[in-house]
Amino acid sequence: MAYLKQQRPEKVTVPSVRSSKERGERLVCLTAYDYPTARIVDEAGTDIILVGDSVGNVVLGLETTVPVTLDAMIHHTRAVRRGVTRALLVADMPYGSYHTGEDDAVRAALRLIKEAGAEAVKLEGGSSRAAIVRRLVDEEIPVMGHIGLTPQSFHKFGGNKLQGKTEEAAHRILDDAHAIEDAGAFAIVLEVVPRELAALITKRVGIPTIGIGAGADCDAQILVIHDLLGIAFTPTRPRFVKQYADLRRAMTEAIQTFADEVRSGAYPTEAESYPLPVDTKLDFGSPENSLLADAIPDSET
């Protein structure tokens, strides 16, 4: 693989992510859900690749992440694993996989590590999930936390809304960050919180913060790859999304051009076809071969 723009060419690991905050190194994080996308994202120098349960929204056409199953996460993580060499590969623990107790959480996380090839798992929630984070870490499973807007709480929040808008809510999210850090997480995703709160959390905790809709002061930034490339079909574009390409238009134009050429007979040409080998001898004299003989141009007989 030809790596392009990474700051450091060596393999990204959990310890190197943790120490990136001390080095003042800003990490690049993106999602991927399949092999070809994973290869491109990895070869472009991305530091952390997340197989997010956002696969439900952008790949499976679901309204929320809630229906995504553990088996689905394993399936997509396996595909991404085959395309990743350098980046740290993190897999989301889907809704329901850690809500019924620590033992169930360990079993689910072990499947993502052993069967799917993830190098760490991510789970949503703050202080209420600290015991689960601690148990996973005790079982030698690296954990990335996720606080603020937690999409698996879609029904609780009544939608994907800005979190931490009041002083009380901001203090609660700050407490969540400390609880997740104290439980042993190696990084924390801060999603859709005021930039001032994200800056404060980033200053107060000793592990990297990964922002998505959390301002520029986080230690790293993450986007959903479909949002970045312009191929997401969500009803509205979140404020934090910056679209860096319009692949939807490029793909549409390519498909329409192909369709036009097929309908006009311009595709395929001889360049996209296979001629009969020159040393092949066929008997066109028999009746059963007459149609084949008629199909071969005189120049090739």
- Looking at residue 156, its pLDDT comes to 80
Region 275-282: what's the mean pLDDT?
Answer: 86
Give the model confidence (pLDDT) of 116-162 as tens digits.
Answer: 999 999 999 999 999 999 999 999 999 999 999 999 987 887 777 89
Catalytic residues: 191
Tokens 């709160």: give the residue. 197
E strand or H helix at 17, and its extent? helix 14-23
What average pLDDT does the chain have? Answer: 92
Whether this prediction's pTM lies above 0.85 is answered by: yes
Q: Residue 41 pLDDT > 80, yes or no?
A: yes
What mean pLDDT is predicted for residues 164-185? Answer: 98
Domain 14-250, CATH among 1.10.3720.10, 3.30.565.10, 3.30.70.360, 3.20.20.60: 3.20.20.60
Question: Is the pLDDT score of 290 beyond 80?
Answer: no
Identify the weakest region by mean pLDDT among 7-11, 81-85, 221-225, 230-234.
7-11
Encode 250-270: b = buried (16+ Cβ within 10 Å), e = exposed.
Answer: eeeeeeeeeeeeeeeeeeeee
Q: Which of 150, 148, 178 is nearest to 163 (CA)?
A: 148
The pLDDT tens digits of the residues spanning 232-252 come to: 998 788 999 999 999 999 999
Q: What is the pLDDT of residue 236?
A: 81
CA neighbor of 192 nearest in space, from 235, 135, 154, 155:
154
Q: What is the pLDDT of residue 295?
A: 59
Which amino acid, one-letter code, is at 252? T
As beta bridge partners, residue 47 has none
- The torsion of the CA quartet 19, 138, 148, 57, rounded to 10 degrees, works out to 100
Closest CA to 84 of 132, 25, 36, 121: 36
Beta strands in the chain (DSSP E): 27-31, 48-51, 88-92, 120-122, 143-148, 187-191, 209-212, 220-223
Percentage of the residues of the chain whose pLDDT score is greater than 70: 91
What's the rounded Cα separation, in Å, for the pair 63 and 178?
31
212, 189 contact by CB (below 8 A): yes
